[in-house]
Structure formats: C-alpha cells, structure tokens
Chains A and B, each alone.
Chain A
Amino acid sequence: MVTITTVDTLQEAAASSGQGSSLLGGGTLLMRGVNYGDQDVSRIVRLRQPTPLAGISSEGERIRLGAFATMATIMKSGDTAFLHPVARAVGGPAIRNMATVGGNIFAPHPYGDFAVALLVLDARLRMSDGSEMDLDRLLPVRDTETRLVESVSALRPAGDDFRFLKVTRVKPRGASVLSIAAWLPRRAGRVSGARVAFGAMAPTPVRVPEVEAALEGVNLDQNGIERALQSVANNLNPPDDSLASGWYRKAVAPVHLGRLLLGQGTR
C-alpha cells in the first residue's frame, strides 16, 4: 500500500524520508511508477506549498533555479534563454508543465537531460540542510543521498559558448538515445576550459574529462576536434535499453559530438 505524507517544509520532508519514501516533484516519473506498481515506492512525501521553491532568480554571473521550477517556467523566463532549448527537449508540453529541475537531477537513465546541461554549467546545489554541493559530486551517489535539493545555481554562458544536443528516435518527444551538453569558452579562437557532459551514456549524466582535456587549446574545426572525438568511446560504457544498445550509443556518440562541436545540428 502506498501512503501519502504531506509536510510544510523541505526540511520536514528530508527528516521524514527513508527507505521507500519519495518526494513528489512534478510526478512525471514517480506517479507513472506508482500507477505501474513500482515496488520501490511505498510512501510519497509531498510539500503542502512548493511554490516558494519554484522560483528563478539572477545572481550576478549565475542564475538560481528552485528545485520545483518546471521546464515550462524555464521556457517562459527571459533570464534562462540559454536553457530554453534544453527545457524544450524534455518530454512534451504536458510533461514540461509538471517536470521539475530537482526531479530531473534524480531522473534515472535514459531521462535527466536537463541535468546534463547543468553539469557543464558548473551547477552547485543548495541542499535541504543549508549546505552546498557540486552537482557532479551528487550524481554518483544520488540513489543513497538522503538530503533533498532546494535549488540549483548555474553559470550563465556567453554567446554560443553553451551548446546542447539531444538525440532521439522519436521526434520531437522521444527519450534520449543520448544527449550532449558542452560549454566551450574560447580565447583568441581557441578553446580554454571546456566542459563536456553526456546523458544516457552512463547510469547518470557524466562529464568526460578526457574529452575536455583533448579540446584544450584547439580550434573548433575538424582537425582540432579529432582527438576529442576519438577519446569519447574509450571513456564511456553506455547501458543497453530498448532505445539503443550500448554498442550503438558508443558508435554514434563521436558523430553527434562532432556535429555539436562544429555547430552542425545544435538546437
């Protein structure tokens, strides 16, 4: 039997969490699981009033997204124009209306494309106990983390430094064969301090330091990116699922990364 607990604050929600408990965000994954008898869910914890945690605010060179901010909210906000293509890549309108930033960080493979973008934007999480944590430190341990995410702060990229690509079989609303986000700051035309992350290429969204290193100091042309493309397959071990085999993902990842880096087919 699934029980529902309603609490007033995120801190109360965190305190009442435990084995089999799940915090209800937008419910796009959780409620589907409940409807299909997911035996990992025995208790749903919901916030009486999540609106205060759904805001978007500007903090200098960073932007802060509340954990309950929905994809639809992000697409409506002028402050998050660089994230509009990412939010639009999540589900269809009905899903985007409900799906939250916080939920996306915990969404299992092959979902969680928004978190891929956050990874390259140096996302820092404010947790329910008031502490801060980097997103790339949370992701590997997200299944055992008992604290809840209150908000996310991400860098605001300049120009076309930030790029995102989601590859699906069903268009425009399919789940990821893979997704790629790249932050490519350049000095005198050469890449400096690149960040590249993949979705659906590992159990969680991941950055690929080898690719980032291979992009350091190169021009974004076919010759410049060659070494980065070669290092993709060596450093990822993507899972098989009904959308694509791991082998296929590995085979096509360099092709799509190449298109993204060369500015072909980005959205």
Chain B
Amino acid sequence: MSSVEFRKDLFREERDDNLQEIGKPTRRQDILGHVTGRSPYYDDHLFDGLLHMRCVRSPHHHARIRSIDTGAAERMPGVIRVILARDVPNNLNTLLSLINFGKDEEKLIQDTKVAYVGEPVAAIIAETDRQARDACAAVKVDYEVLPHVLDPEEALSPQAPVVNEVYPNNTFDYHDLYDHQKLRFGDVDKGFAEADHIVEGEYQMSPIEQAPIETCGAIAAPETNDRYVCYTSTQALFFSLGTTAKLLDMPSSRLHFIGGTVGGGFGGKVDSIVEPLSVLGAVLAGRPVKFMWDRTEEMQVGAPRGAERWRIKDGVARDGRILARAFTGFFDAGAYTRLSSYAIIKCSAHLPGPYTIPNVAANVFCVFTNRTPATAMRGFGITGVDFAIECHMDKVAEAVGLNPIELRILNAYRDGDMKPHRRLAKNTALIECCQVAAQKSGWSIGAEAARQSSLLGGGGPRAEIPETVTDMAGQIGERRRSVIPTAPGEGASARGNVPAGTQGIPIVAAAPQDEDMIMDPSRTGYRGPSSTPTRIPEAAIATDTRPQAAAPASPPPPAARPGPVAPSGSSQVLQPALQPALSPPAPQASPEPPATAPQPPAPDAASQPYKPEKPFSRGVNRPGVSRFLSGSRRR
C-alpha cells in the first residue's frame, strides 16, 4: 500500500479529482529493462575497431600554457591521433548560446590558459584505453603557473586574478549593464527603519557532485552519407546535438544523435562536453571513438551544483511580520558559465521564498573562480537559497520569540499575492503544508494559525506592486576599479523610483541564433508573446516626474535576420529578471528618451500568416486527445 497521503480536502475547489495515476501504485515504463539488466546504455553499443579517447588535463588551478609537446605521445604504440585546440573547428562556446544567453567563453580544448584543475589541453585517440592513458602521460605541457582565486568574494576584489578573459571582472554580465542580477520590490531601507528587530545571517553550501553510476560518455562513429552517429549518456540530447554542431561547425543534419537510457543524470549530463569530443574524434580518426570519463574525472571535472553563499537581512515587526528582506548572494560558477548564469535568473524569481514580504531587494552575483565549472542539479538556483531562507526563518522565530511554524504561516504567501518578480502567486499551499507538517510531527500550533488558509486573505492590497526604490550600483566593470559593497543599495551614488503599480521593464527575449530556430507559427499555432519585444511605453516614463534613464540596453536583434520572434522558452527564462528603472547619477530636469534601445521592427501583416483566436495554451482539451501532443500532431 502506498504510504503517500493526499490531502484532497484542502484544494477540492481547485483541482480536477479524476486522477487516474497519482496516488496509485504504477510501474515505471523502463523498470523492467533496468531490473533485468537489459536496458541499453550508450556503452552497450559495440563497434568494430572502436578507438578510445582520453584527455590531457591541467594539474593547475590557473596557468598559462607556454607550449605543448606531443611528439613522444604521437610515437607511442596504438596512438592514432592527438587532438589539440587547433583541430576544433569553432573552439569557443557557451552552453546557453543555444538560447543566446551569455557570451562564448569556453574552449573545448585549451591552448592559451587553463583556469581550473582538470581543464583539457589535448585529447588522444588510441587503440586501447590504456594506450591512450599512457600517451596522455607522455604529453609535455609547459605551464606558467598564475595566481588563482577559489573564493567568490575574493574574486570580486579589484586585485583578484582574471579567471575568464571574456568576463574580465570575474562576474557574469547581466543585461549588458550590471555585474549582478538585481531584484527590487518596495523599499527595504524603509522596512528596516520601521522594524523592531533586524535579523541577519550568513549561509553557505559547498559544491555537490551529481555522482551518477554511469559516468559521462559518448561513442561516435562515421555513418553513411557523410554523417556521424553518436550514442551518448546525455540527458539533454538536443542541447548536445546543437553544441556539437556549433563547436564542430557542422550542420546538425550531419549528426545522428541517439540518447535514451541515462545511467543517472540529475543535471550532471547537460553540459555536452563528451559528445563534441567523441564526434571530433570520429571525424579525425575516421573510426568509431569512445570518450568516457572515469570516476576520477567525473568527480574532478564533472560540473557539480555550484557553491553558494548567502547573506540575508530581515527587518521584523514585534508580532513576527517580516517587513523587509535583503539578500546578497554569490554563486560560484567556477571557471566558465555553463548554467550558473541561468540558475541566478531562476533564483531571483524565487526570492524571497514562499513568503509575502512588502519590501524585498536582492543582489545576486554569478562569480568566476578557478574551480570546476558548476552546472545544473535538481532545482539548482533554488535549493541553496531555500536552505538559507528556511534556516533564517528559524533564526527570525528565535529573535521574536515565536513558534517557527506559526511564523511561517504568518508570513506565508497566499493565492493572489504579488511576488517581487511581479507575478501573482497561485496554488501557494505553504500554509496547508505547515499545518499538515505540524500535525504529523506532533508540533503544536495555535488556533489562529490552524485556521489560516492559503486560499483566503491573499490578493487585494497584497496584490499591489509598491513604489520601488532602485539604484545603479555595481555596473559592469565598476567593481574592478574600486571596492564597492555587494549588498543591495549599499554604495549607490544615486537612487531612483519606479512608481507603484509598474510592472517593470520586460527584457527583450534573445533573438534566435539560427534561422532554422525561428518559430514557425504555422507549425506551433503561436506567434510568440505579444509583449515581445516591447518596452515600457515612453508615456509611462514621462508621467513620472522623477528622472528616469533609458531602459537597459538589450541585445539588439541581428540586423540581417527577419523580425525576431522569441521562442517562448527563452522568454520564460528571461522574464523573471526584473530590471529596475534607473536613475542617472546626476538628476536631470527632463527625462531622456530611451535612445539606446533598439526599436523592434513594426509588425508586418504579411509576416504573420497565422493568428489564432485564442493564445496558445499548453496541451489541448479535446476529448480523447492527449493534452500533451504538440506541433503538427496537435493540429
């Protein structure tokens, strides 16, 4: 019998209760293969004449490469080919370039400088794994060891060594403007002034390796018609395909990627490192090539969930209401971006956790250090800060002398409340979760807390967006010139205000990188969000008597391409990142128009062949049709 209990009574108004699967024992569709040992993994595919690839890796955190001598390795028995940076056709990439987020900054194989222990500087293909290892050991690399930085806050110091030359400030550039992601909602300083208690805390978590049983790997082989087949352990097949096509400067139509059974992923098999290398090996050797990390590599160079450090400052009223909460967060991205920049966008939309707090501010930094690049892992961007928030809630409860569960219920968000990223909360359920947790654990809560419901008491004034204080502290490069504080609002020379009720400025979604990535409305039935790529109307800026600067410059759409229609996925990624309206350092009498902002091309009726009557909603409600069919099958 299932031990899961479903409290259907709590949300009976909201939910269709004709559940066919949930709450009932069900058999995973792949479990029979797993328990009988018949599930085929990438390494179960056998090829005649299979070659093996291994990497020569940096022993240093940070070092310039003076020279690489592969002569001895090339002469060793069984060695077929030594691959260096010059053999990679397009040797610069960033994982999220597929959605045009961030700059290309990571080489598949390094030739100038290594920035973390284990960074590859050469790859060797040999007849056997052992021969490849022996040849790797025979490669002589002359390194000039450079000073390194391993702590994110030390990396922000003006004296810190530059980890990643594409981001010379050791921080990811947000919206081409700031060295961190800002979130502003209301006025935290006002909230702190009104508070009876100020509660501060610092929380930190270390990197976590996903530790799959099957280490990352891929087998690539020449196929007919000048194509290459690649069997891979990836958990992001089309990411790996796109990344390989880009790095190898090869049309994706020449790549036949086969995924399927992943021997444990948890986010650690997204980064698409092994696939481009194995396909490159197959191209250069003309034979099947396997590139498989061993356990040591998986631990050393497999990108983990990154380390995070959080400082939280709360202003709390005597009765336990949290009036203001300020976050300063540092994500240790390691030497290259991978998915850390995106984790911070997710994180900023999540703050201040599942609570309704009238004044919230956050500065979240994506910092480059000489550590293994960090990437995705289960709820990344959220998990670390939630750990910090919930530890801090207990600290607040102690400071005001309240039952910690009652404190959570008192501050919990409710359906209809406005979140700081300007979205209304729905299906909140934290209150019910607290009540059930208290009941199950025998933790007593008061009658008042037990009466609360997340369905009641939300919305109304709690749905309003307050007047919001903004600042321009921490622009790109500023921190490199002098030490400036990292906490929200501190060190700001000028402040601005966004009037109450203002939704903020939507960020123009990145234009598709390639023409074949442009959404075809005739296939999807959706033209893209109507607000894309709109900006806050000039009229709205003009009505505010306070001076407002131009909206932050957004990536202009490529000139030669048709009017960009943002993929809805990337729009979702970027939307939560609220950009505050900005004040110029010296207040001017008249507002300036957003001179730098590119105006979107006027909608052309001819370019909109299909206009659905209703906006696209996920799935269909046609009887007898799966809700999750999409595209042409959906029609």
A interface residues (Cβ-Cβ under 8 A, vs B): 1-2, 36-37, 39, 242
CB neighbours of B54 from chain A (8 A): 37
Bound together, the chains give a CA A1 to CA B296 distance in angstroms of 21
Kindly list 5 other residue pairs between chains A and B, CB separation below 8 angstroms, not including A1-B131, A36-B295, A37-B129.
Answer: A1-B130, A2-B130, A36-B296, A37-B54, A37-B133
CB nearest neighbor in A for B134? A39
Q: Which residue of A1, A36, A39, A242 contacts B128 across the interface (Cβ within 8 Å)?
A: A1
CB distance from A108 to the nearest CB of B (A): 15
A-B contact pairs, 17 of them (CB 8 A): A1-B128, A1-B130, A1-B131, A2-B130, A36-B294, A36-B295, A36-B296, A37-B54, A37-B129, A37-B130, A37-B133, A37-B294, A39-B130, A39-B133, A39-B134, A39-B137, A242-B299
Measured between beta carbons, the chain A residues less than 8 angstroms from B131 are 1
Residues of chain B contacted by A242 (CB below 8 angstroms): 299
Chain B residues with a Cβ closer than 8 Å to the other chain, count:
12
CA of A2 to CA of B129, assembled, Å: 11
Q: Nearest B residue to A42 by beta-carbon distance?
A: B130
Determine the chain A residues whose CB is within 8 A of the CB of B134 once the complex forms.
Answer: 39
Chain B 132-155: CB-based contact to A (< 8 A → 1; otherwise 0)? 011001000000000000000000
On chain B, the residues within 8 Å of A37 by CB distance are: 54, 129-130, 133, 294
- A37 nearest in chain B by CB position: B133
Per-residue interface assignment for chain B, residues 26 to 58, with 1 indicating a CB less than 8 Å from any chain A CB and 0 otherwise: 000000000000000000000000000010000
Q: How far is the CA of A37 from the CA of B296 in the complex (A)?
A: 11
Interchain CA distance A91-B341 in the complex, whole Å: 41
Q: CA A37 – CA B133 in complex, angstroms?
A: 7
Instruction: Please measure, in the bound complex, the distance between the C-alpha atom of A37 and the C-alpha atom of B130, giving whole angstroms.
Output: 6
Contact residues of B between 75 and 130, Cβ < 8 Å to A: 128-130
Nearest Cβ distance between residue A234 and chain B, in whole angstroms?
31
Q: Give min CB distance, A40 to chain B, whole Å.
A: 11
Of listed A2, A36, A37, A39, residue having the most chain B CB within 10 A: A37
Inter-chain contacts of A39 with B (CB < 8 A): 130, 133-134, 137
Q: How far is the CB of A107 from chain B (nearest CB, A)?
A: 18
Closest B residue to A242 using CB positions: B299
The answer for the CA separation of A39 and B133 in the assembled complex, in Å, is 8
Within the assembled complex, what's the spacing in Å between the Cα atoms of A47 and B299? 35
A45 to B131 CA separation, bound complex (whole angstroms): 21
- Fill in one digit per residue for B294-318: 1 if any A CB lies within 8 Å of its CB, else 0: 1110010000000000000000000
Q: Looking at the assembled complex, report how far the CB atom of B620 sits from the nearest CB atom of chain A, in whole angstroms.
A: 49
**Residue numbers in B under 8 Å from A1 (CB-CB):** 128, 130-131
Complex: A36 Cα to B131 Cα, angstroms: 13
Report A20 CB to chain B, min CB distance, Å: 12
**Bound-complex Cα distance A37 to B129 (A):** 7
What separation, in Å, do the CA atoms of A59 and B416 have in the docked complex? 82
Residues of B within 8 A of A36 (CB): 294-296
A36 CA to B300 CA in the complex, in Å? 15
**CB closest chain-A residue, reference B132:** A37
Complex alpha-carbon distance, A36 and B129, angstroms: 9
B residues less than 8 Å from A2 (CB atoms): 130
Q: Which residue of chain B lies nearest to A36 when distances are taken between CB atoms in the complex?
A: B294
CA distance A39 to B54 in the complex (A): 13
The CA of A2 and the CA of B54, in the complex, are separated in Å by 18
Docked complex Cα distance between A242 and B134 (Å):
25
Q: Nearest-CB distance from A54 to chain B (Å)?
A: 30
Q: Nearest A residue to B129 by beta-carbon distance?
A: A37
Across the A-B interface, the 7 shortest Cβ-Cβ residue pairs: A37-B133, A36-B294, A37-B129, A37-B130, A39-B133, A39-B134, A39-B137
Q: Tell me the bound Cα distance from A167 to B295 in angstroms.
A: 24
> How many Å lie between the Cα of A2 and that of B128 in the bound state?
11
Query: A176 to chain B: closest CB distance in Å?
Result: 19
Residues of A within 8 A of B133 (CB): 37, 39
Q: Which residue of chain A is the closest to B133 with respect to CB atoms?
A: A37
A36 to B133, CA, bound (A): 10
Shortest CB-to-CB span from A34 to chain B, Å, is: 9
A17 to chain B, nearest CB (A): 20
- Could you tell me the distance between the alpha carbons of A36 and B296 in the complex, rounded to whole angstroms? 9
- Cβ-closest chain A residue relative to B52: A37
**A9 CA to B129 CA, complexed, in Å:** 32
Determine the residue in chain A with the shortest Cβ distance to B294. A36
Provide the bound-state CA to CA distance between A111 and B46, in Å: 36
Shortest beta-carbon distance, B294 to chain A, in Å? 5
Complex Cα–Cα for A1 and B52 (A): 13
Q: How far is the CA of A148 from the CA of B260 in the complex (A)?
A: 48
In the assembly, what is the distance between CA of A37 and CA of B128, in Å? 10
- Nearest CB of A to B213, in Å: 14
User: Once bound together, how far apart are the Cα atoms of A28 and B163, in whole Å?
Assistant: 41
Q: Which residues of A contact B294 (CB under 8 A)?
A: 36-37
Shortest CB distance B560–A (Å): 49
Closest-by-CB residue of A relative to B131 is A1
- Interface digits, B187-230 against A, CB 8 Å rule (1 contact, 0 not)? 00000000000000000000000000000000000000000000
Measured between beta carbons, the chain A residues less than 8 angstroms from B296 are: 36
Cα distance A64–B536 in the bound complex, in angstroms:
86
Provide the bound-state CA to CA distance between A36 and B298, in Å. 12
User: A39 vs B294: C-alpha distance in the bound complex, in angstroms?
Assistant: 14
Q: Mark B268-307, 1 if CB is under 8 A from A, else 0.
A: 0000000000000000000000000011100100000000
Q: Please measure, in the bound complex, the distance between the C-alpha atom of A107 and the C-alpha atom of B128, giving whole angstroms.
A: 27
- Alpha-carbon distance between A36 and B215 when the two chains are bound, in angstroms: 12
Residues of A contacting B137 with CB < 8 Å?
Answer: 39
The residue of chain B having its C-beta at the shortest distance from the C-beta of A34 within the complex is: B130
Query: In the complex, what distance in Å separates the CA atom of A3 from the CA atom of B265?
Result: 35
Give complex CA distance A242, B296 in Å.
11
A209: min CB distance to chain B, Å = 36
Q: Which of B128, B129, B130, B134 has the most CB of A within 10 A?
A: B130
Complex Cα distance, B294 from A36, in Å, reads 7
Contacts of B129 in A (CB 8 A): 37
Minimal beta-carbon separation of B545 from chain A (angstroms): 60
CA distance A140 to B52 in the complex (A): 38
Q: Closest Cβ of chain A: how far from B76's Cβ, in Å?
A: 12
How far is B126's CA from A1's CA once the two chains are assembled, in angstroms?
Answer: 12
Query: How many Å lie between the Cα of A242 and that of B137 in the bound state?
Result: 23
CB distance from A248 to the nearest CB of B (A): 15
Task: With both chains docked as a complex, state the minimum distance between the C-beta of B384 and any C-beta of chain A, in angstroms.
Answer: 22
| Docked pose: A37 CA to B295 CA in angstroms | 11
CB distance from B295 to the nearest CB of A (A): 7
The distance from the CB of A70 to the nearest CB of chain B, in whole angstroms, is: 25
In the complex, chain A residues whose CB is within 8 Å of the CB of B299? 242
- Distance of A121 from chain B, by nearest CB (Å): 35
C-alpha spacing A104/B118, complex, angstroms: 31
The CA of A39 and the CA of B138, in the complex, are separated in Å by 12
Alpha-carbon gap, A1 to B129, bound state (A): 9
Q: Report Cα–Cα, A230/B46, bound state, in Å.
A: 60
The CA of A36 and the CA of B137, in the complex, are separated in Å by 15
Q: Measured between C-beta atoms, what is the minimum distance from B576 to chain A in Å?
A: 37
Q: A171 CA to B134 CA in the complex, in Å?
A: 36
Q: When chains A and B are docked, how far (Å) is the Cα of A39 from the Cα of B130?
A: 8
The CA-CA distance from A36 to B299 in the complex, in Å, is: 14
CB B166 to nearest CB in A, in angstroms, measures: 32
